[in-house]
Amino acid sequence: MKYILFSIVFLFIIGIAGCGSDDHEHDDGIAYWTCPMHPEIKEDEQTPCPLCGMDLTPVREDDDDEHEQDHQHDQEHENAEGEIEYWTCPMHPEIQEDEEGSCPICGMDLVPVHADHEEHEEPRGRLRITPTQQQIIGMKYDTVEYRDITPTIRTVGRVRTDERREAEVTLRVEGWVEQTHINETGVTVRRGQPLVTVYSPELISSQEDYLVARKSGNENITKRGRERLRLLNMPESEIQKIEETGEPLMEVTLTAPFSGVVLKKNVRDGMKINPGTALYEIADLSTVWLIADLYEDDLPFVYEGQAVEFTLQGRPGNTANGTVSFIPPTIDPATRTLPVRIELNNNPDQHIKIDQFGWVTFKEHLENRLTVHRDAVLRTGQRDVVFKELGRGRFEPVEIHLGPLAGDYYEVLHGLDDGDRVVTSGRFWLDAESRLRGVGAEAMPGHQH
């Protein structure tokens, strides 16, 4: 029994000693914890990086010794004017290596870049990112250059009648409806087609006066009598019947003033007509108006005479071409939009219907315009910013002024030059880094997301 107890105690002591030895060796193997993106951060235990939040990684004692040696070597290079700072590729300046070798992209021999202590004093507002960091975040670039672009503005439009092609059929004297020839709305009528036949004692009296004047031979009186019948809305065809027969018409038939569609009908058989009563409303739909609401930001890119494409809702393949005919001088205060008027040809089948909705596309071809890729632009709401590459891993936030968007490119009005390289992928990381380091505040005042 004593032998068993002694064996258990002996094994327990050996186990504790072994575990303690492993822990000690493990702890002694780690010199400190650091951030891959911010090597200046050194902690005694594993915690998130205070700058970017990434998990710290361990650095072994052997690695630390090598790091200290490299650091001392770098310090000697920095203090010695004319020493080689790094090796780079003439064709790919983003490649920066610590040793002589070949470019991993094109295979050319790397050339030395000599250190200059004054060049390390970066102006406020700039960032310096190592090639390793650029590779980790997947940084990509695009070049600012001149291109032919076609800006496009797309909005919703609604069809209206052309107000210049509308008319009301009325009688300017009192009378009664004897017969309606057009008894429904929506039908198409021709110019001169009978609409309604009326009886009017006043119109009969005016006809008699005109016939008396004709018999008198007085040209002036005859001319005034005929003009009176015309002003009472008596059709020319009815006046000619009076002149041919020499007798007044007991019933007068009113006709369509032009070819079009009956939009409204306010007449029935037997009803009394008061002077000025609108009997029919007719509109010529061979040409229609398209009203497109544009926001204030779009107005500089729209002008009278500009070509427009209209796509009917529900019929994507059915398009019509029109022209901007009028830009009103006032903006709708409720919607802050401007109702731009567009003329559309609706012949021959008049497939565009009144009050129909569809998509309106404004296009304008611009030649030789300085452009920047849309992915390079950070739009803060107050300003537009890009990160411009300065070479040797240096970047600077630049505020720019943009024109219209055409596909994947904005027109650049101010802030960049032809040939500038800007960041298209990784710009949000640069923005966050600049805010963490406090270098972006001066270059981008009031910058906020």
Residues carrying CATH 2.40.420.20, the chain? 135-149+367-443
For residues 285 and 349, what is the distance between their CA atoms, to the nearest angstrom?
A: 10
**Least confident among 19-28, 327-336, 339-348:** 19-28
**Residues whose CB is less than 8 angstroms from the CB of residue 332 and which lie 6 or more positions away in sequence, other chains included:** 293, 338, 339
pLDDT at residue 16 greater than cutoff 90: no
Amino acid at site 439: V
pLDDT at residue 1 greater than cutoff 60: no
Average pLDDT of the chain to the nearest whole number: 82
Residue 133's pLDDT is: 80
SS3 23: helix
Give the model confidence (pLDDT) of 65-88 as tens digits.
555 555 554 455 444 445 676 787
Backbone angles phi, psi at 71, to 5 degrees: -65, -45
pLDDT at residue 26 greater than cutoff 50: no
Residues carrying CATH 2.40.50.100, the chain? 167-283
Nearest partner of 100 among 115, 86, 81, 80, judged by Cα: 86
Amino acid at site 252: V
pTM of the model: 0.59
Confidence of residue 49 (pLDDT cuts 50, 70, 90): confident
For residues 223 and 163, what is the distance between their CA atoms, to the nearest angstrom?
A: 33
Query: DSSP 3-state helix, strand, coil percentages of the chain (rounded to 5)?
Result: 30, 35, 35
For residues 95 and 140, what is the distance between their CA atoms, to the nearest angstrom?
A: 13
What kind and span of H or E run contains 19?
A: helix 2-29
Q: 219-231 and 201-216 are packed helices; what angle lies between their axes, rounded to 10 degrees?
A: 160
pLDDT at residue 354 greater than cutoff 70: yes
CATH, domain range 167-283 = 2.40.50.100
Burial class of residue 395 (count of CB atoms within 10 Å of its CB; 0-12, 13-18, 19+) = buried
More confident site: 313 or 323:
323
Residue 427's pLDDT is: 79
pLDDT at residue 145 greater than cutoff 70: yes
Give the model confidence (pLDDT) of 84-137 as tens digits.
767 878 777 667 787 888 888 888 888 887 655 344 445 556 788 888 888 888
**Least confident among 100-104, 158-162, 328-332, 433-437:** 433-437
For residues 427 and 139, what is the distance between their CA atoms, to the nearest angstrom?
A: 8
For residues 416 and 384, what is the distance between their CA atoms, to the nearest angstrom?
A: 12
**Least confident among 113-117, 177-181, 279-283:** 113-117
Amino acid at site 417: D
Residues carrying CATH 2.40.30.170, the chain? 152-162+285-365
- Does residue 348 have a cis peptide bond before it, meaning omega lies within 30 degrees of 0? yes
Residue 124's pLDDT is: 57
**Least confident among 74-83, 161-170, 189-198, 286-295:** 74-83
The distance from CA 405 to its chain's CA centroid, rounded to whole angstroms, is 7
Residue 431's pLDDT is: 79
Topology, domain 135-149+367-443: 2.40.420
**How many other CB atoms are found less than 10 A from the CB of residue 190?**
10
> For a pLDDT cut of 90, what percent of the chain falls above it?
48
**How many other CB atoms are found less than 10 A from the CB of residue 186?**
8
Q: Could you say which architecture CATH assigns to the domain 152-162+285-365? A: Beta Barrel (2.40)
Residue 58's pLDDT is: 84
CB-CB contact of 392 with 93 (8 Å) = yes
Residue 318's pLDDT is: 79
